[in-house]
Amino acid sequence: MDRQIQKKILKPDYRRIYNDLIDRRYPERKMEFKSILDKKTLSTLEVIKLNQRIFGGNEYFISNQKHRSYDKKAILEILDYQKINKLNNKQLALKFNMSRNTIGKWKKIFL
């Protein structure tokens, strides 16, 4: 029980982080992100999409790619996206800006 509580506390509150970021840097775009930021919690994929919409541009993502982490729910959601859209590992890797080897490893572990 204590471990579950500790894990929940250690997870960052992305909703507050992005809310503050938009308030300080992009107050004119606040209405654009209102629907996403009104949710109680943000999933990993929602955080990635929000980050792409705010900052855009590929040079930012190339330098920031090594700092991403995915939870099991996000991994399964990405693999489901691959099945639904009938994508191979290379196409999925390009879509989510990650390595083909990572996707292959996830498929071995989770499927």
Please give the Cα distance from 92 to 60 (Å, whole number): 20
pLDDT of residue 65: 64
What is the tens place of the pLDDT at every residue in 25-63? 989 989 988 888 888 888 888 888 888 888 775 555 555
pTM of the model: 0.70
68: CB partners within 8 A, 6+ apart: 48, 98
Q: What is the pLDDT of residue 79?
A: 95
Work out the number of other CB atoms within 10 angstroms of the CB of residue 54: 16
Asked if 47 and 19 count as a contact pair (C-beta separation under 8 A), the reply is: no
Question: What integer pLDDT is reported at residue 105 of this predicted model?
Answer: 95
Average pLDDT, the chain: 83
* Least confidently predicted of 1-10, 14-23, 33-42, 83-92: 1-10
